[in-house]
Amino acid sequence: MTRHIRHAAAFCALLLLALLLNALRVQVVRSAAYDGNPANRRESIARYGQPRGDILVGGAPVTGSRDTGEQLRYERTYLDGPLYAPVTGFASQEYGTTFLEHAEDDLLSGLDPMLAPLPLWNDVTRGRPPGGMVVTTLDRRAQQAAYAALDGRKGAVAAVEPATGRVLALVSSPSYDPALLSGNDPGAEAAWRRLNGDPDRPMLNRAVSQTYPPGSTFKVVTAAAALDAGVVTDLDAPTDSPVPYRLPGTTTRLTNSGDGCADAPVREAFEWSCNTVFAKLGVRVGLARMSRTAQAFGFNDPDARIPFPVATSTFDTSLDQAQLALSSIGQYNTRATPLQMAMVSAAVANGGQVREPYLVERTTRRGGATVGTAGSRSARQAMSPSTAVRLRELMEDVVREGTGTRAAIRGARVGAKTGTAQHGIGNAGTPYAWCISWAQGRRDIEPSVAVAVVVEDGSANRGEITGGGMAAPIARAVMAAVLAP
Amino acid sequence: MTSAGAGAATAFAAAGAPSPAVSLPRRRGIELALIVVAVLLSVYGYCAVGVARHGTLPPGAAGYGAGLGVLALVAHLAVRLRAPYADPLPLPIGVLLNGIGLVLIYRLDLETPGDRAAPTQLVWSTLGITLFILVVAALRDHRVLQRYAYVSVVAALALLTLPILFPAVNGARIWIRIAGFSIQPGEFAKVLLAVFFAAYLAANRTALAYAGRRFWFVQLPTGRVLGPIVAIWLLSVGVLVLERDLGTSLLFFGLFVVMLYVATGRTGWIAVGLLLASLGAVAVGRLEPHVHGRIEDWLHPFASIDAGLGPNQLAQSLFAFSAGGVLGTGLGLGHSVLIGFAAKSDFILATAGEELGLAGLSALFLLYGLLVERGYRAGLALRDPFGRLLAVGLASIVALQVFVIAGGVTGLIPLTGMAMPFLAQGGSSVVTNWAIVALLIRVSDSARRQYDGSTAP
C-alpha cells in the first residue's frame, strides 16, 4: 500500500505542477495578449483613473478633467471647446482621441516612459505617473480673432510664425464642442451621431485635414519658380502673353476676370491676378522646375506632421502642357491645405526659407519640469533670398493697390495674395475665397506672422466670393491680433 | 500490509528518531509560532487593502486580527491538549488560507457596497474552527469512524439528494435555503464519503485486489466487486445530471478512483475508472447543454468577444490573472470585480492572481500542496489500513478540489463550479475544510503517537 500511496502522491504533485505551469502561461507568457485584448477594460480603467494632462495655450490650460465617480473615473472637459477643437481634437472614452489629444496621448495619459522618474520604474511599481502637460505654440488672441472673423462661415485659418514655423492659429469653422464626446454615456453617443451626420461637417478640421484648390494664391509658387529659374528677370518688362491664352495642345481658351492682362508685366499680372500670364509662365518654367519648387514649399509631402498628420497638399508631377498651365494657376489637380498655403506665405516672408510648422512648444510633467521641447526644426530653401525679396515686393503691391487692399494694417508692412478658386464639375461649385498674407510690425526686424484663410461659404452670393472681399479682412484681423502689443 | 507498515516505520526511525526509546518532540511550539505568523500575515493583508483603498488602516483591523487570533489560539490549545503529537503544519496552513480568504472577500466587498460577505464568512469560519475543536476534542481515535461507515454513506446520499427538492440557483441544484442561510450539503458529503470509502475499501481490499481474470495486461475485477464501483459511478453521473454539478461529480469519482487504486494497487481499476469517466463525460458533454457550454467556453474563452457580446466570466478571469503578472497589482488595486457574479466564490482565485501575482498564486498553490503532502505523509506513517486510506482520501479531496477549480478558472480544464478550499466565500465549504483539517490532525497525531517510545501505541 505504501508504494501506491506514493504513486497517488506523485499524481497529486503532477496536478500541482500542471497548475503552476498553467499559471505561468496565463500570467506571464500570454499576459501581453490578454492585457492588450480590446475587451479587457483594465487599460481603460487605469487610463481614466487619473486626470488627463492638460493642453496649454498662452500659459493657461484650455482643457480640464472632471471626476465622474464612475468606473472610468475622469472625463475630459474643454474650457473653450469649439475655439480650440481643431488643435486639441477630442479625447473620448468611447470614440478614442484625435489631433493633439491623439498625437500626445501617451504623455497626456501618463504612459510616456519619459514621465517615469527612473527607467522601468513604472513596470516595477505598477504605478502610473500623472499625465504630462502639452504647451502649444498658439497665440490665444490670434486664435480668437480668426474664429471671430470667420463668424461661423465655412472655412479655415492657419497662421504661422515665418522665422520658426510655430503655428500661431489653427481655426476651422463651423466647429463643435469636443466635451460633448468625452464620456461614454448616451449623450455622447447622440452627439457623435449628430456631429457625424451634420452636412456642415463640424468635426472636419479644415485647416489641416482638408485640401482645397489654392487658385490664384498658388501664383506665388509659380512666380518664385519663374524668378529662380530666370524665366523672368525684370518684373516690369512686358511678357509675351496673349489674351485669351490657348492652352498648349488644346483648343481651350483661358481668360481673365479683369482687363489689361495682355502682355502685362509680372508685377501688374500679380497685382491683378492675370491667369493668362501665370499659366504661360508655368509652361515656360517647365514641369520639372515647377514640381521641384512646389515640393520645396512642402507640397507632395505625405509625412507632414505638426505633430498630428497634415493632409498631403498635392502638385501633380505627371502633367501635359495644358494641365501644367492650369496647375500653375492653382487649378486642375493642385490642392493645398490652408496650413500649406500659410507655409508658402511664410517662406516669402522668411527670405525664401520654409520652416516646418509645429504646434507643440514643449511637453512637461504635471509639476512643470520639461520632458521634451520642439527643438530646432529643419529648414528648406524654397527660393533664393533675392527672389524672396522681390516676391515680398509683389505681395506688398497687392495690398497697396491690388486685390488685397482690405488686408492692409496701418503702420505695418503687409503682403498678400488673394485667390478665388473654381471647383466642381465645370466649375459649377461655389468658389473658394482665399487670402495668404504676412505682416511685419513697425518695430519688428522681420515679418512676425504669415496667414492663410479660406472661406467656402455656400450661402454667400457667388459674385461676392472673392479672396479680396471675404478672405482678406479675416487675414487682416489675425495679423492685427499678432502684431498688437 | 504488515511488512509495508514495518518498512515505513523503519524508514521513519532512520530519518527522524534514531532511538525509539526517547520521547518524540511534539513540536507544538513550532505550530504556535507558525499560527502567529499566519495571523500576522492575514492582518497585514487586511491593512494593505485598507491603505491601498483609503490611505488609512481599516477601522476593523484590530478586531479582525484579534478575532482570527483568538480562534486560532483556541484551536491550537485544543490540539495541544488533545492531539499533542499532531503534525504542526495543517493548522497554521488552514489559519493562513482562511485568513487570506477573509482578506480577499473583504477586499471584494469594497467593490460591492450592497453585498457584504466578509462578516458572514467570519461567522462561518468561527463555526468551522468550532467544529475543528469539537472533532479534535471529541474524537480520540480515528478508528472509531470505521464503525460508522454505512451511517456515513446514508447520510452522504441524503445530503446529496436533498437539494433536488429545492429550486435551482444559477443553473445548479446544489443549495438548500433555510432561514436565509444557503447551505451546500454536497460539501459535507465529501468527508462522509471519504470515511465510507476508507472503511469499505479497508474491509474489502483483498477481495478487490486478487479476484478476477487477467486480460492482456489488465487484471479485471470480478462482477461481485464491480457492483459498488458502478454504483458510485452512477451516483456521480446522477449528481451531474440531476444537480448539474460537474465539479462535485468529478471530485467524487476522482476521489473514489484514487482511493481504490491506493487500496488495491490495481491499474485495472484506473483503466476501468478512466473508461467509465470518459464515457460519462462524453455522453454528458453532448447531451447536457449546461456542461456542453462549459466545454465550449474552455476551448474558446474569447468566442463571446469575437461575437461582439463582450468577455464572459472565464475571459474576465483570464484577464485578471494576466493583469497580475509576476508580482501582482497589490492588494486592493486590481479589478477582478469585472468578473461579476461569483467573483467572491468560484472565481476568488482570480483576485489572488491579479493582486498577488504569479508569486502569490504560486505560494497559495504550494500551501495547498503542503497541506496535501502532510495528509499523504500521515497516511504513509499510519499502520491501520482505514487510517491510511482516510488520510489519503482527505488529502486527495483537497488536491482534487484545488485542481478542479483552480484549473477551471485559469483555463487549464473546463470550468466547473466549486469552492476554492478556505479561500472562497461559502459557509459549507469553510466548515467542511476545517473538518478535513481536524481529521488530518487526528490521523497525524495517531501516526506519530505510535512511534513515541515513551507512551504505549
Mean pLDDT of B318-322: 94
CB spacing of B369 vs A16 below 8 angstroms? yes
CB spacing of B399 vs A6 below 8 angstroms? no
What number of CA atoms fall less than 13 Å from residue A317's CA on the CB side?
A: 12
> Is residue A262 assigned to a domain?
yes
Per-residue confidence band for B179, with pLDDT thresholds at 50, 70 and 90:
low
> Is residue A116 assigned to a domain?
no
| pLDDT for position B113 | 84
> Is residue B49 assigned to a domain?
yes
DSSP track, A471-482: IHHHHHHHHHHH
Residue B284's domain comprises 2-449
The span from the CA of B208 to the CA of B203, in Å, is 10
CB spacing of B407 vs A18 below 8 angstroms? yes
Rg (CA), chain A: 28
CB spacing of B263 vs A1 below 8 angstroms? yes
CB-based contact, A484 to chain B, within 8 Å: no
CB-based contact, A121 to chain B, within 8 Å: no
> Is residue B455 assigned to a domain?
no
CB spacing of B407 vs A23 below 8 angstroms? no
Taking only the tens place, the pLDDT of each residue in B108-149 is 999 888 888 888 999 999 999 999 999 999 998 999 999 998
Domain count, chain A: 1
Whether pLDDT at A13 is above 60: yes
Whether pLDDT at A367 is above 70: yes
CB atoms near residue B375 (< 10 Å): 30
> Is residue A191 assigned to a domain?
no
Instruction: Choose among B258, B263, B338: nearest Cβ to A41.
Output: B338
**Separation in Å, CA of B111 to nearest CA in chain A:** 11
Tally A–B CB contacts below 8 A: 137
Instruction: Choose among A24, A42, A124: nearest Cβ to B335.
Output: A42
CA distances from A83 to A335, A338, A340, A471 (A): 25, 17, 21, 19
3-state helix, strand, coil in chain A (%, to 5): 40, 20, 40
Chain A residues within an 8 Å CB radius of B262 = 1, 4-5, 7-8
Of B198, B188, B189, B254, which is closest to residue B416 (Cα–Cα)? Answer: B254
> Is residue A292 assigned to a domain?
yes
The ipTM is 0.90
Domain count, chain B: 1
**Separation in Å, CA of A38 to nearest CA in chain B:** 9
| pLDDT for position A172 | 94
The span from the CA of A438 to the CA of A451, in Å, is 6
Closest chain B residue to A11 measured between Cα atoms? Answer: B258
CB-based contact, A2 to chain B, within 8 Å: yes
CB atoms near residue B126 (< 10 Å): 17
Choose, out of B250, B322, B390, the residue to mutate when testing the contact with A (most A CBs < 10 Å).
B322
Q: In the sheet that A360-364 helps form, which strands lie side by side, from edge to edge?
A: A60-61, A55-57, A133-136, A360-364, A370-373
CB spacing of B379 vs A5 below 8 angstroms? yes
Per-residue confidence band for B24, with pLDDT thresholds at 50, 70 and 90:
confident
Give percent above pLDDT 70 in chain A: 96
CB spacing of A45 vs B335 below 8 angstroms? yes
CB-based contact, A19 to chain B, within 8 Å: yes
Whether pLDDT at A463 is above 70: no
Q: Which helix (H) or strand (E) holds B214?
A: strand B214-215
Whether pLDDT at A444 is above 80: yes
Taking only the tens place, the pLDDT of each residue in B212-240 is 666 666 566 666 666 766 677 677 667 66
**Separation in Å, CA of A12 to nearest CA in chain B:** 6
Chain B residues within an 8 Å CB radius of A1 = 1, 4, 262-263, 265, 385, 388
Of A208, A141, A201, which is closest to residue A170 (Cα–Cα)? Answer: A208
CA angle B186, B67, B421 (to 5 degrees): 25
Least confident interval from A389-403, B1-15, B202-216: B1-15
Chain A residues within an 8 Å CB radius of B395 = 12
The interface residues of chain A toward chain B in range 169-228, judged by CB-CB distance below 8 A, are none
- The answer to whether residue A376 is catalytic is no
Whether pLDDT at A461 is above 60: no
| pLDDT for position B15 | 47
Taking only the tens place, the pLDDT of each residue in B339-366 is 888 888 889 999 999 999 999 999 999 9
Beta-carbon contacts of residue B87 (< 8 Å; ≥ 6 apart): B374, B377, B378, B440, B441, B444, B445, B448
> Is residue B53 assigned to a domain?
yes
Choose, out of B1, B201, B208, B262, the residue to mutate when testing the contact with A (most A CBs < 10 Å).
B262
CB spacing of B258 vs A6 below 8 angstroms? no
Strand partners, A314: A335
**Separation in Å, CA of A148 to nearest CA in chain B:** 45
Whether pLDDT at B211 is above 70: no
Choose, out of B204, B302, B319, B367, the residue to mutate when testing the contact with A (most A CBs < 10 Å).
B319
Residue A386's domain comprises 215-363+375-483
**Separation in Å, CA of A127 to nearest CA in chain B:** 9
Whether pLDDT at B150 is above 80: yes
**Separation in Å, CA of A17 to nearest CA in chain B:** 9
CB-based contact, A288 to chain B, within 8 Å: no
Q: Which of A82-86, A314-318, B284-288 has the highest mean pLDDT?
A: A82-86
CB spacing of A19 vs B261 below 8 angstroms? no
CB spacing of B411 vs A42 below 8 angstroms? no
Whether pLDDT at B451 is above 80: no
CB-based contact, A17 to chain B, within 8 Å: no
| pLDDT for position B5 | 41
CB spacing of A5 vs B392 below 8 angstroms? yes
> Is residue B275 assigned to a domain?
yes
Of B443, B456, B452, which is closest to residue B382 (Cα–Cα)? Answer: B443
**Separation in Å, CA of A21 to nearest CA in chain B:** 10
Taking only the tens place, the pLDDT of each residue in A156-188 is 999 999 999 999 999 998 999 999 999 988 999
| pLDDT for position A1 | 82
> Is residue A329 assigned to a domain?
yes
Instruction: Choose among A1, A26, A45: nearest Cβ to B318.
Output: A26
CB spacing of B407 vs A22 below 8 angstroms? yes
CB spacing of A22 vs B411 below 8 angstroms? yes
Q: What is the mean pLDDT of chain A?
A: 89
If phi over 0 gives left and psi between -120 and 50 gives alpha, with beta otherwise, what is residue A120?
left
Give percent above pLDDT 90 in chain A: 59
Mean pLDDT of A99-120: 88
The interaxial angle of helices B90-109 and B28-54, nearest 10 deg, is: 10
Residue with the bigger pLDDT between B211 and A327: it is A327
SS (H, E, C) B180-207: CEEECHHHHHHHHHHHHHHHHHHHHHHH
Q: In terms of C-beta density within 10 A (0-12 exposed, 13-18 middle, 19 or more buried), how is residue A219 classed?
A: buried
Mean pLDDT of B398-417: 92
CB-based contact, A37 to chain B, within 8 Å: yes
Beta-carbon contacts of residue A408 (< 8 Å; ≥ 6 apart): A399, A400, A414, A476
**Separation in Å, CA of B392 to nearest CA in chain A:** 7
The span from the CA of A395 to the CA of A407, in Å, is 11
Chain A residues within an 8 Å CB radius of B347 = none
> Is residue B456 assigned to a domain?
no
Which CATH number goes with the domain that contains A256? Answer: 3.40.710.10
> Is residue A443 assigned to a domain?
yes
Mean pLDDT of B322-326: 92
Of B195, B83, B71, B75, which is closest to residue B139 (Cα–Cα)? Answer: B83
Closest chain B residue to A124 measured between Cα atoms? Answer: B327
CB spacing of B261 vs A7 below 8 angstroms? yes
Chain A residues within an 8 Å CB radius of B403 = 15-16, 18-19
Asked if A483 and A449 count as a contact pair (C-beta separation under 8 A), the reply is yes
Q: Which of A52-56, A257-261, A332-336 has the highest mean pLDDT?
A: A52-56
Closest chain A residue to B366 measured between Cα atoms? Answer: A16
Q: What is the mean pLDDT of chain B?
A: 85
Per-residue confidence band for B3, with pLDDT thresholds at 50, 70 and 90:
very low
Whether pLDDT at A262 is above 70: yes
Whether pLDDT at A459 is above 60: no
CB spacing of B1 vs A9 below 8 angstroms? no
CB spacing of A18 vs B403 below 8 angstroms? yes
The interface residues of chain A toward chain B in range 440-469, judged by CB-CB distance below 8 A, are none
Closest chain B residue to A44 measured between Cα atoms? Answer: B335
CB spacing of B395 vs A39 below 8 angstroms? no
Instruction: Choose among B327, B333, B376: nearest Cβ to A9.
Output: B376
List A172, A209, A216, A327, catalytic entry: A216
Per-residue confidence band for A294, with pLDDT thresholds at 50, 70 and 90:
very high
Asked if A134 and A142 count as a contact pair (C-beta separation under 8 A), the reply is no
Per-residue confidence band for A438, with pLDDT thresholds at 50, 70 and 90:
very high
Give percent above pLDDT 90 in chain B: 46
Whether pLDDT at B9 is above 50: no
